[in-house]
Chains A and B, each alone.
Chain A
Amino acid sequence: MKSLGKYISKYLASFLGVVLILLLINGIAFGLTFYGIVTKDYGDVSPQNMSETVAASASMEGISDKASGQLRDHHIWAVYLDMEGNRVWETGAPDGIPERFTVRDVAVFAKGYLADYPVFIRNTDDGMLILGYPRDSYMKLTNNYFSLRSIKTLPFFVMGILAADFAVLFLVYYCSKRKILKNAEPIITSIAALGNGRPASLSMGGELAGIADSVNRASDILSRQNQARANWISGVSHDIRTPLSMIMGYAERIAQEKSAASHIRREAGIIRQQSVRIRELVQDLNLVSRLEYEMQPIHKSPVGLAGLLRSCTAEFLNTGLPDGYSINIEIAPAAETVFFPCDARLISRATGNLVQNSISHNPDGCDITLALDCTGECISLSVSDNGAGLSEEKLKELNDKPHYMESTDDRLDLRHGLGLILVRQIADAHNGVMRIENREQKGCKVILDFPTGPVS
C-alpha cells in the first residue's frame, strides 16, 4: 500500500519535471522564433530608432537625403511641425494630412493614429517630427494607463493567484492520490493474498469492477486447482488404504505363522514393518496437503497439554517401543495446569511424528524425552533424543529450506520426510513456531513454541 502511494508521488513528481522541462523548451522556442520578430521590430527600423535618426538629421529647413531615402525604403512618411502646429515640410505624407494642427489634434494623434496610420512623434529644438508608419504595421494601445497602486500590487496579485493555483493543484493531487489508494487498497490486499496462496474475494463497483472481477477469477482458478490437487492426493491416499490393509494383514499373519520357516517369517515381518511406513506416509501426505490448502478444519478446544503428552507417551509404550529405545516425560509444574486451545488430534499427531522421527533416524536406539514447559506467554512442547543428532548443513536445510512439497526444485537430495513438514504445519495452524536444534550433549531437539495469552 505504501509502495503504491510512493509510486503515485514519484509518477506525479516526474510529471511535474516534464512540465518544467516543457516550459524551458517553450522559452527557448520563443527565443528562437518570436524573439527574432520582436527584435526586428525594436531594431534599426523601430519607431524609436528611426525617429531618433531622422530627428537628428531634420530641422526647420528639411531633412537629409539619406534619412529621406531611408524613410522611403521602409514606406514611412514624415511631417515636421513648428511650435504653432503649422506643417513646415513633409516627405511621402499621404493625402488627408492637414496643413495645420491644433493642440487638440496633436493631443489625439500623439497617443495613437493619424488618419489610421500609426504615428510616432519626436520633439526637436524648434518643432516636432511626426513619423507615419504604414497602416497595419503597428498596433498602438490608446488607453495604456494604470494607477500606481495597481502597478505596485500587481506582483502580489500574480503571486497570490499562482499560490492559490498551486494550492488547488496540490489539493487535487492529494485527494486523487487518496482516492486511488483507497480504491486500490482492496485490490492490492487481494493480490497480496493471492501471492501468499490465500483465496481472495473482491466486490467493487465502478471502473475498477473489471479488475476486481479478474482478481476473483484468478482466486477462483487457484482455489479450484488447489482443491483438485488436495482431492487428488486425498483420493490416492484413500484408494491405497484397503489394499494396504490386506498387505499388512497377511504379512502379519505370515510373520506369526509358527509352521513357516524362520526366514519367511522374518521377511514377512519386514513387509509388515514397511507397510506401516507406507501407512504413515499416506496419512501424513493427506493431512499435509489438506493443511497446505487450508482444507483441514481445525477443531480447537482447551486441552490440557500435560495430559495429552502423557497419553501420547503411554500410547507409544503400550504399542511397544522397539528394543534399544526408551521414552521419558518431563512436565514442568507450571505447565501441569495449562489449558491450551488447540486441536488435540493434530497436536498428538505432531508429537507422535516427532517421536517416530527420533526412532527412524537413530536405528541403533536412543532415549527420547517429551517435555512441556510454560514460560511467560509461551508454551514449549519439545521432543528430544540423545541419538546421532544432525550435521550443521542438515540442520540449516531443515530450518531454512522449503520442503519439496512447497518448492519447485526437483532435486531429490533436498527432499526429506513428510513428518517434519506436517509438524511445522500443525505448529503454524496453532500460531506456533517449530525450531530444530542440536542438543549440547548429543542428539537433537525439536521445539514447538505456542504463544498463549497471559497465564492465569
Chain B
Amino acid sequence: MGNIMDHSYLQNKKLLFVDDEPELLKMVTLILSDEGFGNIATAGSVKEGISAFQKEKPDLAILDVMLPDGDGFSLMQQIRKFSDVPVIFLTAKDEAADRLSGLGLGADDYIAKPFLPQELLFRICAVLRRCYKEDTPLIKLEGCTIDFSRAQVHKAGRILPLTAKEHTLLETLARSDGRIVTVDALCEALWGDNPFGYENSLNAHVRRIREKIETDPSKPVSLITVKGLGYKLNTGK
C-alpha cells in the first residue's frame, strides 16, 4: 500500500477519529499506523470527541454520523465554533440526503462505510494535502523536478519558469498522484467551465509543459495522454 503515494510529510499530522464502535477505532488506528501515521486520537461519543479535540488539537477530524449522544453533524458544528480543522465524515449512512447535509456543512469529504483501507488512506491524504501545503513542495519526475512554490521546473541544470495556467494544470495532476484526471476536471480547474471549446487551449498548455518537463517532448514519460479521457502525471517514485 505504501507505494500508492508519497505521504511522508503528512504522516506527522495528528488525526482524531470519532466512532462509537471501539473495534473499528482499533482497526483504523492499526491500519493507519501501518502507513506511518503515528499520531492518532480516538473518541467514542460527541462529548468525548469535543474534549479529545480540545486536548489533542488534531489536524484532521474523521467523524461518524451516528453517535450515542448525538450526531456527527452537530459535533462538527460545535468544533467549527473554535476551529477550521478539515473534517471527513466516515459513516454507515449512505443516502444522498446525508451526504448532502454532511458536505453542505462544509465537510471536506464524505466516506460511506464499508471502505477499503486504501480508499480511506487515499482520501485522508487527499484532504490533508489540499489543506496543508508542503513546505517545500518538490515533485520529482523522470529527468526533472518541479518546484511548485516557485513555479519552476529544474531540468538538467536549467530553471524553466511555469505560467500560472501551467502551474495549475501540473498541480491538479500532481495532486492526483498518477491517477487519470479527465479533461473535464482539468478544464474545470483551469477555466472553471466545461471542457467544450477549451480542448485546443488545453492541448497547447500540455504541449508547452511537456517541452519544459520531458526529456523528449515527442515521447512523453511523465505527462501521459490517456486517449479519450484525459491526462496523468507519473511521478518519479
Q: Assess the B93–A238 pair: CB atoms within 8 A.
A: yes
Chain A residue nearest to B97 (CB atoms) is A297
B31 proximal to A (CB < 8 A) = yes
What residues on A are CB-neighbors of B194 within 8 Å? 304, 307
Q: Assess the A253–B31 pair: CB atoms within 8 A.
A: yes
Q: Assess the A252–B116 pair: CB atoms within 8 A.
A: yes
Given A245-B115, A283-B94, check contact A314 B28 (CB 8 Å): no
A102 proximal to B (CB < 8 A) = no
Contact partner, B182, options A242, A282, A311, Cβ 8 Å: A311
Q: Assess the B27–A250 pair: CB atoms within 8 A.
A: yes
Give bound CA distance, A247 to B229, whole Å.
34
Give bound CA distance, A241 to B96, whole Å.
16
B34 proximal to A (CB < 8 A) = yes
Given A241-B113, A242-B24, A248-B115, check contact A317 B30 (CB 8 Å): no
A244 proximal to B (CB < 8 A) = yes
A345 proximal to B (CB < 8 A) = yes
Q: Assess the B184–A307 pair: CB atoms within 8 A.
A: yes
The 8 A CB mask of A216-241 against B (1 = contact, 0 = none) is 00000000000000000010011101
Q: Assess the B116–A276 pair: CB atoms within 8 A.
A: yes
B13 to chain A, nearest CB (A): 21
Given A286-B94, A296-B96, A297-B96, check contact A314 B24 (CB 8 Å): no
Chain B residue nearest to A318 (CB atoms) is B179
Given A249-B28, A252-B118, A297-B97, check contact A242 B113 (CB 8 Å): yes
Q: Which residue, B30, B94, B114, B180, has most C-beta atoms of chain A within 10 A? A: B114
Chain B residue nearest to A302 (CB atoms) is B194
Q: Assess the B228–A330 pair: CB atoms within 8 A.
A: yes
Q: Assess the B96–A345 pair: CB atoms within 8 A.
A: yes
B197 to chain A, nearest CB (A): 9
Report A246-283 residues with CB < 8 Å from chain B CB.
246-250, 252-253, 256, 272, 275-276, 279, 282-283
Chain B residue nearest to A257 (CB atoms) is B34
Q: Assess the A314–B21 pair: CB atoms within 8 A.
A: no
Report B112-150 residues with CB < 8 Å from chain A CB.
112-118
The 8 A CB mask of B217-237 against A (1 = contact, 0 = none) is 000000000101110000000
What residues on A are CB-neighbors of B28 within 8 Å? 249
Report B62-119 residues with CB < 8 Å from chain A CB.
92-97, 112-118
B169 proximal to A (CB < 8 A) = no
Give bound CA distance, A311 to B184, whole Å.
8
Q: Assess the A307–B182 pair: CB atoms within 8 A.
A: yes
B1 proximal to A (CB < 8 A) = yes
Give bound CA distance, A328 to B27, whole Å.
37
Give bound CA distance, A154 to B93, whole Å.
88
Given A241-B112, A253-B117, A279-B114, check contact A329 B21 (CB 8 Å): no
Q: How many residues of A contact B (CB 8 A)?
A: 43
A199 to chain B, nearest CB (A): 20
B161 proximal to A (CB < 8 A) = no
Contact partner, B229, options A241, A245, A313, Cβ 8 Å: A313
Give bound CA distance, A311 to B182, whole Å.
6
Q: How many residues of B contact A (CB 8 A)?
A: 37
Q: Assess the A314–B180 pair: CB atoms within 8 A.
A: yes
Q: Assess the A256–B1 pair: CB atoms within 8 A.
A: yes
B181 proximal to A (CB < 8 A) = yes
Given A253-B31, A336-B196, check contact A314 B96 (CB 8 Å): no
The 8 A CB mask of B14-43 against A (1 = contact, 0 = none) is 000000010110011011001000000000
Q: Assess the B117–A249 pair: CB atoms within 8 A.
A: yes
Give bound CA distance, A230 to B228, whole Å.
40
The 8 A CB mask of A303-326 against B (1 = contact, 0 = none) is 010110011011001100000000
What residues on B are CB-neighbors of A311 within 8 Å? 182, 184-185
A2 proximal to B (CB < 8 A) = no
Give bound CA distance, A399 to B218, whole Å.
49
Report B172-194 residues with CB < 8 Å from chain A CB.
176, 179-185, 194
Q: Which residue, A234, A245, A248, A314, has most C-beta atoms of chain B within 10 A? A: A245
What residues on A are CB-neighbors of B181 within 8 Å? 314
Give bound CA distance, A296 to B24, whole Å.
29
Q: Assess the A244–B114 pair: CB atoms within 8 A.
A: yes
Q: Assess the B116–A248 pair: CB atoms within 8 A.
A: yes
Q: Assess the A242–B21 pair: CB atoms within 8 A.
A: yes
Contact partner, A245, options B24, B97, B183, Cβ 8 Å: B24
Give bound CA distance, A247 to B97, whole Å.
27
B195 proximal to A (CB < 8 A) = yes
Q: Assess the A253–B196 pair: CB atoms within 8 A.
A: no
Give bound CA distance, A426 to B31, whole Å.
36
Q: Assess the B27–A241 pair: CB atoms within 8 A.
A: no
Q: Which residue, B24, B118, B182, has most C-beta atoms of chain A within 10 A? A: B182
A404 to chain B, nearest CB (A): 23
Q: Which residue, B23, B113, B115, B179, has most C-beta atoms of chain A within 10 A? A: B113
In the complex, 21 of the A-B residue pairs with CB atoms within 8 angstroms, ordered by the A residue number, are: A237-B94, A241-B94, A244-B114, A246-B24, A248-B116, A249-B27, A249-B116, A252-B118, A253-B31, A256-B34, A297-B97, A299-B96, A304-B195, A310-B184, A311-B182, A311-B185, A314-B182, A317-B229, A318-B176, A331-B228, A345-B96
Q: A307-B195, A345-B96 are in contact. List 11 more A-B contacts (CB 8 A).
A: A244-B113, A248-B114, A252-B31, A276-B116, A304-B184, A311-B182, A314-B179, A314-B180, A317-B226, A318-B176, A331-B228
